[in-house]
Structure 1
Amino acid sequence: MNNHLLALGDFSQETLRSLIDRAIALKAERKRGVRHQVLAGRTICLLFEKPSTRTRVSFEAAMYGLGGQVIFMSAKESQLGRGEPLKDTARVLSRYVDAIVVRTFGQHVVEELARYATVPVINALTDLYHPCQVLSDLMTVLEMKKTLDGVKCVWIGDGNNMANAWIEAASIFGFPLTLACPAGFGPDETILAKARARSPLPIVVLRDPAEAIRGAEAVSVDVWASMGQEAEQEQRLGLFRDYQLDAALLAKAGREAIVLHCLPAHRGEEVTDEVLEGPQSVIFEQAENKMHIHAAILEHFILKGKAA
């Protein structure tokens, strides 16, 4: 039984859809003033080597909203920053908390923690995957389009951790996905090949964003230089210039397309202020949905771990 969330590819469509459906239900209940205490007496540890605003606050708000408690630790506040073996950290924290939520650089970090932990380990971002974020993105698409079946999703920009997670999602849910990435900045080839073998519909990687965006119903963008790539910022500005989502490029998708951005956004770089503030942008609904999907994830994995 898999009681860790490290990558979307580890799960069936049924399991992931149940998380999204639960998040939608929790969101509706919250708006009606319904509050749950299903995780009362439970504690999670947020172990973050990378800083965050939305991911940290949404996980904390989700856990508190379910009656639980949160311990936050940055790398400098933990033994990770002093070279303690991950297997030791995993086994110690497992005796203190009910789940470990990790935001780090290498995917190997969450994998090794999961190997030794006896509580759920949840990937809140690595350089390879960002599964929780893409689940909240899919939740937003489902809310706006009422289905995921056949919805053409488009990714424009760097083939980063978000692109990799979108590729996995497309292969699991079976929706068509097109990515437009500059040469040399495409998604992980191993992830792409595995997803294509699994997917019933095409997963296409193009160079031309104008070609990629035609017929899109959901368009996703992200910053051109992620955390840890700051030294490449100036170089990437030149290489990615033609991949900016502006009004002219968005018009090729049509008026019904929605715009997604996981934030923070560099307005005037990967996307214009006009697009982000325009009627097709759903970025703040998307940001709110992080909290609801995180609540569904915490509820599912912590209670599932108890049952196990």
Structure 2
Amino acid sequence: MAAISCHCYCTVRGSDKPYLSGQNLRRRTPLPAVSVSFRRRISCIATSAAPQKVGQKNFLHLDDFDKDTILKMLDRALEVKSLLKSGDRTFRPFEGKTMSMIFTKPSMRTRVSFETGFTLLGGHAIYLGPDDIQMGKREETRDVARVLSRYNDIIMARVFAHQDILDLAKYATVPVINGLTDYNHPCQIMADALTMIEHIGRFEGTKVVYVGDGNNIVHSWLLMASVIPFHFVCACPKGFEPDAKTVEKARKAGISKIEITNDPKEAVKGADVVYSDVWASMGQKEEAAHRREVFKGFQVDHNLMNIAGSKAFFMHCLPAERGVEVTDEVVEASNSIVFPQAENRMHAQNAVMLHVLGK
């Protein structure tokens, strides 16, 4: 699920991604809708606060990869998913390997999908909850990274501050996977792209309309739009737009058509996918009542889906607050693909793990 809090953002020191710099990302002048549609290839760039170690691959941001690499991971996800669905359990590339899973916030989909996927492919995953490490409090992140690297073959972390995942990647000597931060959620968007390929028949050239808060899910869609060409629209209330520097970066890439708007009804017209998320994520629950007032008119209901058109699918990263950002009717409709989307977290992540481990 999405989890973003304006006061949790931090400055990424020495990063090659200036759009991650700390600032209040909430109350600002609405961004004008600007569209770009020409295509350009961009190559893989370094991640985190220091260059990756030679031969080591991390999965931290979608724009760390070029188009071919992203598409190859998605193809691999389809291939391995088909194998697992057939009942074949002979493909065990992670036999004898272990993974530490660091969680500083609660999780159902992230934990179960990573643990199940790693196990099905022959590995052993170890859950480390908020009280097991207290990363940054009981023990410094750099020490955690170096210790776990001596025990495990891979580290996955679901954390609040984005700096934590960058620090893990900087000091670890094994691959690090971003299971979610307050800034972005790349594994979720890989699962979303996989789901779109299965249900629409393609990912490139589609129109994805996100309705709601400009949060970490939106940032990941924008970073994907920096690599793969499609039309992305974020419809959100004034003052709740996504990080301006991330929007600017996606537009400057010149790969996709990017729009930020405050009009959900106009935004969803002709959409292939209408996408929603909770209005108040973890760390924002004290704002829930206020947000319900501000976000009136941004609920995805039957009327909004009708405006989108008969070909539009509904997606949600879950968990959903039914009756708030989306109606029960929409979640349960025949064009809702939220549960295939949730299942694909495991299959997309399997492909990511195979990639970073060189399998």
Into which bin does the TM-score normalised by the smaller protein fall?
A: over 0.9
The percent of aligned pairs where both chains have the same amino acid is: 45
Query: 1: CA distance between counterparts of 2:189 and 2:255?
Result: 20
The counterpart of 2:173, out of the listed 86, 93, 118, is 118
* Aligned equivalent of 2:219: 164
* Aligned equivalent of 2:149: 94
Gaps of 5+ in 1: none
Higher helix share: 1
Contact 1:172 1:199 in 2 (8 A): no
Which amino acid is the alignment partner of residue 142 of structure 2? Answer: K
Kindly report structure 1 stretches of 4+ aligned residues shifted beyond 6 Å. none
Q: CA deviation at 1:19?
A: 1.0
* Aligned equivalent of 2:355: 300
* Aligned equivalent of 2:95: 40
Deviations 1:156-210 (A, max 9, x none): 0000000000111122111011110111111111111011100333200000100
Work out whether 1:8 is the aligned partner of 2:62: yes
Work out whether 1:70 is the aligned partner of 2:125: yes
Work out whether 1:234 is the aligned partner of 2:289: yes
The counterpart of 1:141, out of the listed 181, 184, 196, is 196
Query: 2: CA distance between counterparts of 1:78 and 1:146?
Result: 43
Contact 2:56 2:174 in 1 (8 A): no
Query: 1: CA distance between counterparts of 2:116 and 2:202?
Result: 27
Equivalent residue pairs, number: 304
Q: Which structure is richer in relative contact order (CA contacts within 8 A, separation 6 or more)?
A: 2
Deviations 1:2-34 (A, max 9, x none): 611111111111111111111111111111112
Cα distance change of structure 1 residues 13 and 209 upon mapping to structure 2, 3 Å threshold: same
Query: 2: CA distance between counterparts of 1:134 and 1:86?
Result: 26
Q: CA deviation at 1:81?
A: 6.2
Deviations 1:13-56 (A, max 9, x none): 11111111111111111111122211000000010001100110
Contact 2:104 2:134 in 1 (8 A): no
Q: CA deviation at 1:61?
A: 0.6
User: What TM-score comes out, normalization by structure 2 length?
Assistant: 0.83
* Aligned equivalent of 2:333: 278
Query: 2: CA distance between counterparts of 1:139 and 1:241?
Result: 31
Work out whether 1:25 is the aligned partner of 2:79: yes
Work out whether 1:153 is the aligned partner of 2:208: yes
Report which stretch shifted further, 128-137 or 294-303.
294-303
Gaps of 5+ in 2: 1-54
Contact 2:222 2:247 in 1 (8 A): yes
Contact 1:170 1:177 in 2 (8 A): yes
Which amino acid is the alignment partner of residue 283 of structure 2? Answer: G
* Aligned equivalent of 1:205: 260
Report which stretch shifted further, 243-252 or 72-81.
72-81
Equivalent position SS for 2:168: helix
Contact 1:158 1:182 in 2 (8 A): yes
Equivalent position SS for 2:357: helix
Query: 2: CA distance between counterparts of 1:138 and 1:218?
Result: 11
The counterpart of 1:85, out of the listed 127, 132, 140, is 140
Which amino acid is the alignment partner of residue 64 of structure 2? Answer: D
* Aligned equivalent of 1:243: 298
Query: 2: CA distance between counterparts of 1:2 and 1:96?
Result: 16
Contact 1:75 1:81 in 2 (8 A): no
Which amino acid is the alignment partner of residue 260 of structure 2? Answer: V
Q: CA RMSD in A?
A: 1.1
Which amino acid is the alignment partner of residue 245 of structure 1? Answer: V
Deviations 1:231-254 (A, max 9, x none): 111111111121000000010111
